[in-house]
Structure 1
């Protein structure tokens, strides 16, 4: 059964992404695309002409996608949460290297911002994993999901996690990685056709990755985890529709000034 979920992970992520686009359209009182629009986009990309700058640039996009897929699979298998975070970091570094491997100034700027995003959210993910360890006594996801009480014992860590979810799904106020008005997609700018499709599908897996952390706060209660994911999903899109994008420097100040403070305070409280 787990293998089926792993195989269908990109499809599941595409449905989440499609549902998000439908929700945003309703919030903005417009018709918007259908739920299956991400699949239509993927088929359309297959018909596009593929231009390759150089082989490493193309291969890094493919490697980024498959390593993200493996990261999501590790979550479904219930692996060590620290290993999952480091696998995800490795996948993101491949994307950064892809951005630096071409001469485009937009691609380089996008890679710089991807690094800033990594610096912002990775410490919060690690501190969240430490919080789960202090509460459950294990970094194993299977053990973490076998217990409960995380929301009561880690409310500030949950708040810190909420603050980095928009970074991972590239929503306002922290949509600095793409910033369409400035860098035309950032790292993705030099990709086309099937190789751009790999990056497009990677976005679906990113949704599963970050919302898996939200789900884990439900512990042994599947229903609580599902409710938390639904509430956060709605909240992130409400904030995205109601706020403007901040600069990357402001993003770092907000995350390190507020989210990091909340996370550290929660850990100190758990240790006391």
Structure 2
């Protein structure tokens, strides 16, 4: 059964993305697209003419998608959380290299911003893994889900995790990687057709990745994990509709001063 969920992970992520578009439309008093619109977009991309700048650029997009998919599989299989974080980091580095591999200035700016996003959220993800280890005694996802009490013992760490969710799903105030008015598509600008579709599907997997970390704070209570995911999903979209984008440097500063401080304070409370 677990392999079925792994195989269907991109579809599940697409449904989450489609549901998010409906939710945002309702918040803005619009009709919004159908929940299957992301899949309609995918079929439309297949009809587009595929232009390749050079082979490594195209292959890096494909590799980025499959490494992300493998990362999601590792989560579902209950692997070591640190390995999962490093696998995800590897996937992001492939995307950043893809942006740097072409001459487009917009692609380079997009890669610069993707790199700043990694610098901002990666330490928090590692601190989350360490915090879950302090409570559960294991880095294994399967063992973390057998323990509990994470919200009561790690409330500030959970707040720090909440701060980086908008970075991962590229929502305000930290949607610097998708600043369309500034970088015209960013790292994705030189992709088209089927190769752009791989990046489009990668977005679906990013949703599964970051919300899996939210789910872990439910521990042994699957109901609590589901409620946390639903609550954070709603909160992120509320904030997205109510805030403006900050500058990349401000994003890093906020995460390192506020989120990092919350995590360190929580560790001090647990260890003392």
TM-score higher than 0.5 here?
Answer: yes
Structure-1 residue corresponding to 2:58: 58
Helix, strand or coil: the match of 1:34? Answer: coil
How many angstroms does 1:268 deviate by?
1.4
* 2:104 equivalent to 1:88: no
Output the CA distance in 2 between the equivalents of 1:32 and 1:136: 42
Structure-2 residue corresponding to 1:146: 146
Moved over 3 A (4+): none
1:240-264 CA distances to partner (integer Å, 9 max, x unpaired)?
Answer: 0000000001101110110000011
Output the CA distance in 1 between the equivalents of 2:226 and 2:66: 26
1:173-210 CA distances to partner (integer Å, 9 max, x unpaired)?
Answer: 00001201100121000000000000000000000000
Structure-1 residue corresponding to 2:122: 122
Unaligned runs of 5+ in 2: none
Structure-2 residue corresponding to 1:44: 44
Output the CA distance in 1 between the equivalents of 2:123 and 2:38: 31
Structure-1 residue corresponding to 2:31: 31
Structure-1 residue corresponding to 2:165: 165
Output the CA distance in 1 between the equivalents of 2:170 and 2:45: 21
Helix, strand or coil: the match of 2:260? Answer: helix
How many angstroms does 1:126 deviate by?
0.1
Structure 2 length normalisation: TM-score?
1.00
* 2:102 equivalent to 1:133: no
Structure 1 length normalisation: TM-score?
1.00
Output the CA distance in 1 between the equivalents of 2:188 and 2:72: 22
1:45-80 CA distances to partner (integer Å, 9 max, x unpaired)?
Answer: 000000000000000000000000000000000000
Output the CA distance in 2 between the equivalents of 1:110 and 1:264: 31
Output the CA distance in 1 between the equivalents of 2:267 and 2:101: 39
How many angstroms does 1:269 deviate by?
1.1
Structure-2 residue corresponding to 1:205: 205
* 2:68 equivalent to 1:68: yes
Output the CA distance in 1 between the equivalents of 2:245 and 2:180: 11
Output the CA distance in 1 between the equivalents of 2:271 and 2:194: 49
Unaligned runs of 5+ in 1: none
Helix, strand or coil: the match of 2:53? Answer: coil
